[in-house]
Homo-oligomer: A and B are copies of this chain.
Amino acid sequence: MNESRPNAMAILRERGYRVTPQRLKIYNALWNAGSHPTVIEVHQRAIKEDPTISKATVYKTLQLFTEIGLAVEMGFRDESTRYDPEVDGHINLICTQCGSVEDYDGIDLSSIKNGVEKGMKFKIFAHRFEVHGLCSKCQAK
């Protein structure tokens, strides 16, 4: 079930971005930071390897990583927090290109929630299921 570590250097090259020591160190920091580090945590970890790495660079780099699939962002960086009154749930399809959000409710989420509640002894109050990618319109472009 473990995921193998992507080759950040190769992926950067592929997409036409430069490979810099900062980017590699920030990727190390992200990968080693355990689960779901904040920007600040990534920065603190990165400056242990190179104390000159700035917070601004970490911000910029993590955004880049998100664009090229080296990281998933938890939350919307560019705006204030969003809230959803539809608490019973569906899957949100978020287009990373145009920002549109579609709903998908063609799947029975209750069995999934059941599995989690029983398997993990976790009491669920709410959930959020999102996929990030390209909507049909943006694929056509």
Which chain B residue shows the least CB distance to A55?
Answer: B80
Give the contacts of A2-20 with B (CB-CB under 8 A). Answer: 3, 6
Min distance, Cβ A28 to any Cβ of chain B, angstroms: 10
The reply to whether B39 and A128 contact each other, CB–CB distance below 8 Å, is no
Number of this chain's copies in the assembly equals 2
A123 interface hit (Cβ, 8 Å): yes
Are B39 and A80 within 8 A (Cβ)?
A: yes
Task: Tell me whether A132 and B139 are in contact (CB under 8 A).
Answer: no
Question: Chain B residue with minimal CB distance to A95?
Answer: B122
Range for the number of chain A residues in contact with chain B: 35 or more
B130 touches A125 (CB 8 A): no
Min CB gap A140→B, angstroms: 10
- Residues of A with Cβ closer than 8 Å to B? 1, 3, 6, 27, 30-31, 35-40, 42, 62, 65-66, 69-77, 79-88, 90-93, 95-96, 101-107, 112-113, 115-116, 119-136, 139
Q: Could you give 19 example pairs across A and B, Cβ below 8 Å?
A: A6-B87, A30-B85, A35-B92, A66-B83, A70-B85, A70-B87, A71-B85, A72-B86, A72-B128, A74-B84, A75-B76, A104-B120, A113-B131, A121-B135, A122-B133, A123-B134, A125-B132, A127-B129, A128-B132
